[in-house]
Chains A and B, each alone.
Chain A
Amino acid sequence: MFDSILQPAIAYARKDFLEAIRDRRLIAVSIILGAILIGTSAAVASFMVSTTTPGSGAGNVPDPFDVWLNGTSGVLTGIAFGVTTVVLPFLPMLAASRGLERDRARGIYQLSLAKPIPPWGPALGKFVGLYAALAIPTVAISGGVVFAIYAVAGAFPSGGLLGVFVGASVILVGLYLLLTLCVGAFLPQELVGPLALLVWVGFNALEQTGFYITARFMTILGADQAVTYQSAWTDLATFTGLYHGLLAPAVPGELGFVVGTFDVAQVVPWAILVWFVGVYFAYAILLWRMPSR
């Protein structure tokens, strides 16, 4: 039983890792996305001001856009909250879509279905292989963002924020990778990209919409407006919200960007684990469903 899961997992992990790191289109897109993020970081850092400015958020507590230009940590906070979740997900969406496409076009997926093994191994292996390959450009890009800020501003952002930024970016990529694999396991190949894109739009738009609605409703119910405004950055229903939830506690206190007392921030790691496990099981089951075409 152990070998029937472990061995297929190793088989797919090795194959997909090697294919992904040699995938020219994926390399090209990594370079483009990296250039966008690193270029934006350098541009923002060049406008950096060294003094903290009062925020314009509800209750005069600064939201991430207000702390944007306050020191190198402010620049990184702004990039992380404002740009990363919009740009970075394209990388895992492309990798997952192409990984599934390769297997289907070459008949590897169809032949895998005829083998006497449960679905958990191939599903896990494919995810791990692609994730390992994506971790390289993700760390390079997020590290590049930090170095671009340093190169322009002459100082590194806070060490804690820097580490969480790199780690959270890797987690964000993993979540989108797994979700796109799950979507691709039951959709025709031509619809995988568009649906993954819809999810991306939904998660980013949903997060913003949820943010404002939550703040409004909680204010009406009598909650502290400033705290609510800040806490609402974190939500558990979207990857953007989870990413923000990971990052918010690491933002240096001197920026005045408070996480608030909302308990959601503490459950973010658990929520991420639930997302990973839940989507993985759904993906594995859908992947091993006997296809109709």
Chain B
Amino acid sequence: MIEVQDLVKTFGFRGTTTALDHVTFSVPDRARFGLLGASASGKSTVLRILSTSLRPTSGSARVGGHDIVEEPDKVRKQIGYMPQDAEMRAWSTGRDYLRFWARMCGLSAEAQRERIDHVAGFLSLEAALEQDPPSYTVDLQRAMSLAQAILSDPKVLLLDELLEGVSESGRRFFLGRFEQLASEGRTLVMSTPLLADVRAVCDQVAVMSEGHVTRVFTVTELLRKIGEGKDARVFIDAEDVPAEAIAALRTLKGVVDVRIAPTSTILYVTPTEIEMEAIRRTLEAHRVSFRGIRTAQLKLGDVFSALNA
């Protein structure tokens, strides 16, 4: 469905800044493909090029067999693109925003109404359609932006950091919708800096760093490489945690591994399964004196460390 070959993108005077450096990967039809990488790793640039809104410096990319530079009009008929930052201040209501983009898909007046009602129902946006976009929460902004991307009922969805900043309930909502969109036969390509997103949505992932694709994995391969379930961490700030407390922590649901660091104890956990209160109760039962408990997503640095090991 998507083939990217030796894609290079440079910016600045005489191309001094390299955003993409000979990026190559392919995405099969109906795949759920992730671009995993830190900020400025080139994920958004890849998506912009695939969306035909940015010309590559060299290399080629094809969507559905059509070259993005030679046949952009044919590519555009197949894609729905959701950029990272969707600006909605120009419109007074959500309906105005969606009507603008429905018109920009060349839909007739009747088709516009039908598609707007359909996507609003699909993303539970009925109430938001009549609200002022600046009043939207991050979850609503993302949902509205996703709605504009699926207005034309595209075969390929390019989603740039859709889950960034959304609430936990919003995240669950979007994951459910992704499932449905994928089950309708669409190809999903999403970028994210979070391993947990890739784990939840994708079946394949290209790990990106400084404009390179380090390697393309199946998600199972990647998780096996870095340690199954190690997609989030809980830090217990305490100097002396006795061995029996460590053993008890290991038995808690959602805990994958426990490591001892100089000033804290680190639990590698599965975020959807772990209960913070259970950790607290276990520590108190073993009379462990701790200053606090903190959580953090597994950093991309940890991913790259594991990949380079």
Question: Residue B275 at the A interface, CB < 8 A?
Answer: no
Within 8 Å CB of A293, what residues of B?
Answer: 11, 54
Within 8 Å CB of A11, what residues of B?
Answer: 99-101, 103-104
Within 8 Å CB of B72, what residues of A?
Answer: 290
A111 CA / B53 CA spacing, docked (Å): 7
Interface size class of A (residues with CB under 8 A): 20 to 34
Q: How many A-B residue pairs have CB under 8 A?
A: 91
A272 to chain B, nearest CB (A): 30
Within 8 Å CB of A19, what residues of B?
Answer: 90
Given the known inter-chain contacts A11-B104, A293-B11, please indicate yes or no for A108 contacting B69, CB distance below 8 A.
Answer: no
A68 CA / B91 CA spacing, docked (Å): 48
Instruction: Tell me the nearest residue of chain B to A288, going by C-beta.
Output: B72
In the complex the two chains form, is A117's CB within 8 Å of B106's CB?
yes
Question: Per-residue 0/1 for A4-22: is the Cβ within 8 Å of any B Cβ (1 yes, 0 no)?
Answer: 1101101100110001000
B215 to chain A, nearest CB (A): 28
Question: Residue B107 at the A interface, CB < 8 A?
Answer: yes
Question: Residue A102 at the B interface, CB < 8 A?
Answer: yes
Partner of B87, one of A5, A107, A116: A107
A200 to chain B, nearest CB (A): 28
Instruction: Tell me the nearest residue of chain B to A102, going by C-beta.
Output: B90
A102 CA / B69 CA spacing, docked (Å): 26
In the complex the two chains form, is B103's CB within 8 Å of A113's CB?
no
Instruction: Tell me the nearest residue of chain A to B92, going by C-beta.
Output: A18
In the complex the two chains form, is A111's CB within 8 Å of B54's CB?
no
In the complex the two chains form, is A114's CB within 8 Å of B53's CB?
yes
Question: Residue A122 at the B interface, CB < 8 A?
Answer: yes
Instruction: Tell me the nearest residue of chain B to A14, going by C-beta.
Output: B100
Instruction: Tell me the nearest residue of chain B to A7, going by C-beta.
Output: B103
Within 8 Å CB of A5, what residues of B?
Answer: 106
Given the known inter-chain contacts A19-B90, A107-B85, please indicate yes or no for A113 contacting B52, CB distance below 8 A.
Answer: yes
Binds A, one of B21-29, B73-81, B135-143, B186-194: B73-81
Question: Residue A263 at the B interface, CB < 8 A?
Answer: no
A290 CA / B71 CA spacing, docked (Å): 11
A81 to chain B, nearest CB (A): 40
A11 CA / B98 CA spacing, docked (Å): 11
A60 to chain B, nearest CB (A): 58
A residues 91-110 near B (Cβ < 8 Å) are 102, 106-108, 110
In the complex the two chains form, is A7's CB within 8 Å of B106's CB?
yes
Within 8 Å CB of A115, what residues of B?
Answer: 76, 101, 104-106, 152
Given the known inter-chain contacts A3-B108, A290-B53, A290-B69, please indicate yes or no for A111 contacting B100, CB distance below 8 A.
Answer: no
Q: Which of B53, B85, B152 has the most CB of A within 10 A?
A: B53
B residues 56-99 near A (Cβ < 8 Å) are 57, 69, 72-73, 76-77, 79, 81, 83, 85-87, 89-91, 99
Instruction: Tell me the nearest residue of chain A to B47, going by C-beta.
Output: A114
Question: Per-residue 0/1 for A105-133: is the Cβ within 8 Å of any B Cβ (1 yes, 0 no)?
Answer: 01110111111111001100000000000
Partner of A291, one of B53, B85, B86, B112: B53
In the complex the two chains form, is A3's CB within 8 Å of B54's CB?
no
Partner of B107, one of A7, A118, A122: A7
Question: Residue A292 at the B interface, CB < 8 A?
Answer: yes
Query: Interface residues, chain A, CB within 8 Å of chain B?
Result: 3-5, 7-8, 10-11, 14-15, 19, 102, 106-108, 110-118, 121-122, 290-293
A to B CB contacts below 8 Å, 30 in the list: A5-B106, A7-B106, A7-B107, A7-B108, A7-B112, A8-B103, A8-B106, A11-B100, A11-B101, A11-B104, A15-B100, A106-B89, A107-B85, A110-B53, A111-B53, A111-B83, A111-B101, A113-B51, A114-B51, A114-B52, A114-B76, A114-B81, A115-B106, A116-B105, A290-B52, A290-B55, A290-B72, A292-B54, A292-B57, A293-B54
